[in-house]
């Protein structure tokens, strides 16, 4: 069953992209993730100057070289510095505490589906204090005095309250 996922977080926009999910990460998997993230046409990180890496042994020299060749400067965190990659750490803690720890995952496709649903909720429905309680990706603006409705996802685990247009 899959259990490890790589996360890429844009510091300025707070947008999150799941780089991949696997139960057996290795150097080859990480290299493919780096290729996917740094792809000039479809990657999540085009134009990014710096990328913060933890001290994971899978961040091999080949992995860092691929990022460097893509125009990014990989910065490896110093030892014992858990909060220097706070945006990614906060997202992972939110995903675990608000969603994944409350679910019984069934099968290999259930974890990616739950993570995707949480990311959609995180971007489009969940207000963020650091962004003055705005949404990361404003899907639509509804201004009105209509009734407040509750939308649910993942069997009611994730909820979003919305005002209907009048």
Q: How many domains does the chain have?
A: 1
**Mean pLDDT, the chain, integer:** 78
Listed as own residue / partner, the contacts of 93-100 with beta carbons closer than 8 Å and 24 or more positions apart are 94/122, 95/122, 98/158, 99/154, 99/157, 99/158
pLDDT at position 9: 60
Burial class (CB in 10 A: 0-12, 13-18, 19+), 150: exposed
Cα–Cα distance, 65 to 71 (Å, whole number) = 10
Taking a C-beta distance cutoff of 8 angstroms, is the pair 136, 14 a contact?
A: yes
Work out the pLDDT band at 1, boundaries 50, 70, 90: very low
Closest Cα to residue 20, out of 42, 41, 38, 4?
Answer: 4
Average pLDDT over residues 16-27: 80
Is the pLDDT higher at 45 or at 36?
Answer: 36
pLDDT at 157 over 80: yes
pLDDT at position 76: 84
pLDDT at position 2: 46
**pLDDT tens per residue, range 68-122:** 888 888 888 888 776 777 777 788 888 889 888 898 888 878 888 898 899 888 8
What range defines the domain where residue 68 resides?
4-163
Reduced 3-state DSSP string for 56-101: CCCCCHHHHHHHHHCCCEEEECCCCCCCCCHHHHHHHHHHHHHCHH
Work out the pLDDT band at 140, boundaries 50, 70, 90: low
What percentage of the chain reaches a pLDDT higher than 70?
A: 80
CATH number of the domain within which 87 lies = 3.30.420.10
């Amino acid at each position: 069953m899959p259990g490890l996922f790589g996360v890429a977080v844009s510091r300025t926009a707070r947008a999150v992209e799941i780089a991949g999910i696997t139960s057996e990460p290795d150097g080859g998997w990480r290299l493919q993730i780096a290729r996917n993230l740094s792809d000039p046409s479809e990657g999540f990180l085009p134009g990014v100057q710096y990328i913060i890496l933890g001290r994971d042994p899978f961040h091999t020299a080949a992995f860092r070289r691929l990022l460097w060749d893509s125009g990014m400067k990989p910065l490896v965190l110093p030892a014992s510095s858990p909060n220097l990659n706070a945006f990614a750490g906060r997202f992972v803690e939110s995903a675990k505490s608000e969603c994944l720890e409350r679910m019984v995952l069934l099968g290999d496709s259930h974890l990616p589906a739950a993570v995707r649903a949480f990311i959609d909720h995180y971007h489009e429905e969940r207000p963020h204090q650091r962004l003055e309680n705005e949404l990361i990706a404003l899907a639509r603006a509804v201004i009105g005095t209509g009734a407040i409705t509750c939308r649910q996802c993942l069997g009611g685990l994730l909820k979003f309250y919305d005002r209907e247009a009048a």
